[in-house]
Amino acid sequence: MERTLEVCCNGSTSRFTAQRLNRASLYGSKRRVPVDAEGRPCQTAALTRDGRFLLPKGSTATLYLDTDGDVVERAELRTADEPLVEEQGQQAQSAQAEDVLDCTVRQVFGLAPIAISESLEALLGNTGICRLQDMSRWIRIRDGRGRDARVRMAPARRTPRPQVRTVGGRVVESVRFIKTPMPKTYDSLRARCADDAELAELLVEADPKTDLEAAGRRAGPTDRVLLDPDGRVLYAASEVEVVYGRDGRELDRRSPTDTPANVDGDLPLVWTGHKLSRSESARRFAFTRNVQLRHVDGLTYDFLFAMARELHEADALVLIGAGPQGRAPILLERNGLPYRGFLEGRVDGDRYLLVLHLTHLELTSAAEVSL
């Protein structure tokens, strides 16, 4: 769905149409689908912890409640750091490549200009960027001189999610309620009747869709279960891998194969020597995952510090890859997404920061991608 974005800059307003971009729309996708013994795709459902209610998709509703238990409409919600007086449009501010590299990208939108003000054009002309308002693991990596070491890998620090409140300042919580359990859904009731006319008569005479014991209850903690196409719980399921094209149509269906992770194997990740400036990297790629490399002793400190200093002085990021020549993608987990890695280093005295920026999405349009 196309949306409109208004950006204010020095009192003037620019307007864009925004369309979400993702990897599937550019390159296609694949996913594993659970199937029953006959090869039919299964659906997921939630089972309450007491085992009383089976909740398929669409059988629950989420409401926001304040501290008194009263329902709060979504239009009344604000984040704790959001001003109560709404501003017209997003305010644009100048930003640097480092500001983008410090973030982990969650969503990407392509903007098509409707009207751009001169002040916003001038702001983008500077850097091409503007701002709108220890479970560590091991990784083996090689530097530009061919030396390799095994160091710690930890997620980059994330900003905590802001607290939600009402316009009046009351704190609210999100609660999931049961609407209709499995035996009362349309598909379950329709299976009991010969046609829609018989179902209509059943609804009028007995009102079987209403479950007074379940409707309006808090769902509470639930467990994930699989249902076959007939709505029965499946206790054993197999998987198939379905490949989709860029238009979302199914291209192939095959038995899944496991692809192991390659960040802590016999071959280290390779410093390819191909460097990109910070600003070019921030404009060309959406870094959807960032991990920090940490030393574990004095030798690995010298090893990582030297890499960070080289990249800091070059004001650039270097491409990191797997395989003997560094041309293979990086897999952090088994069967994980294939990433391209860019290593960034910053130095302050004898302190260093070495971050591996990971991306599986280049900022481009589908028409520019060749498969």
**Backbone φ, ψ for residue 117 (5° rounding):** -80, 160
Residue 165 domain-assigned (yes or no): no
CATH, residue 141: 2.40.290.10
In this structure, are 224 and 273 located in the same domain?
no
How far apart are alpha carbons 211 and 208 in whole angstroms?
7
Contact 26, 369 (CB under 8 A): yes
What integer pLDDT is reported at residue 339 of this predicted model? 93
What integer pLDDT is reported at residue 85 of this predicted model? 41
At 218, is the secondary structure helix, strand, or coil?
A: strand
In this structure, are 65 and 184 located in the same domain?
yes
In this structure, are 63 and 142 located in the same domain?
no
Q: Which residue type is seen at 10?
A: N
In this structure, are 314 and 346 located in the same domain?
yes
How far apart are alpha carbons 121 and 128 in whole angstroms?
9
Which residue, 348, 345, 350, 352, is CA-closest to 275?
A: 345
Contact 55, 46 (CB under 8 A): yes
In this structure, are 174 and 64 located in the same domain?
yes
Look up the domain containing 327 and give its range. Answer: 134-159+259-368
What integer pLDDT is reported at residue 87 of this predicted model? 41
What integer pLDDT is reported at residue 331 of this predicted model? 92
Tokens representing residue 361 in the block: 């999405």
Residue 81 domain-assigned (yes or no): no
This model's pTM is above 0.85: no
Domain boundary among 210, 229, 254: 254
Radius of gyration of the chain (CA): 26
Residue 316 domain-assigned (yes or no): yes
In this structure, are 241 and 143 located in the same domain?
no
In this structure, are 187 and 95 located in the same domain?
no
Residue 83 domain-assigned (yes or no): no
Contact 193, 199 (CB under 8 A): yes
Tokens representing residue 240 in the block: 């198939």
- What residues have CB less than 8 Å from 57, skipping those under 6 apart? 43, 44, 45
Tokens representing residue 212 in the block: 């007074």
Domain boundary among 218, 237, 254: 254
Residue 271 domain-assigned (yes or no): yes
In this structure, are 206 and 185 located in the same domain?
yes
In this structure, are 265 and 138 located in the same domain?
yes
Residue 82 domain-assigned (yes or no): no
What integer pLDDT is reported at residue 160 of this predicted model? 64
**Backbone φ, ψ for residue 107 (5° rounding):** -140, 150
Residue 347 domain-assigned (yes or no): yes
In this structure, are 176 and 68 located in the same domain?
yes
How far apart are alpha carbons 12 and 9 in whole angstroms?
5
What integer pLDDT is reported at residue 363 of this predicted model? 81
Tokens representing residue 28 in the block: 């296609």
What integer pLDDT is reported at residue 212 of this predicted model? 79
Residue 210 domain-assigned (yes or no): yes
Contact 188, 208 (CB under 8 A): no
* Number of other CB atoms surrounding residue 311 within 10 Å: 24
How far apart are alpha carbons 190 and 196 in whole angstroms?
7
In this structure, are 324 and 363 located in the same domain?
yes
Contact 182, 162 (CB under 8 A): no
How far apart are alpha carbons 11 and 149 in whole angstroms?
53
What integer pLDDT is reported at residue 345 of this predicted model? 94
How far apart are alpha carbons 130 and 14 in whole angstroms?
13
Which positions of the chain have pLDDT values less than 50? 1, 83-88, 134-135
How far apart are alpha carbons 149 and 142 in whole angstroms?
7
What is the largest distance, in Å, between two alpha-carbon atoms of the chain? 81
How far apart are alpha carbons 288 and 339 in whole angstroms?
9
Local structure of residue 297 (DSSP, 8 states): S
- The total domain count for the chain is 3
Domain boundary among 219, 254, 289: 254
Which residue, 297, 332, 364, 36, is CA-closest to 151?
A: 297
Local structure of residue 87 (DSSP, 8 states): P
In this structure, are 118 and 206 located in the same domain?
no
Which residue, 241, 260, 266, is CA-closest to 251?
A: 241
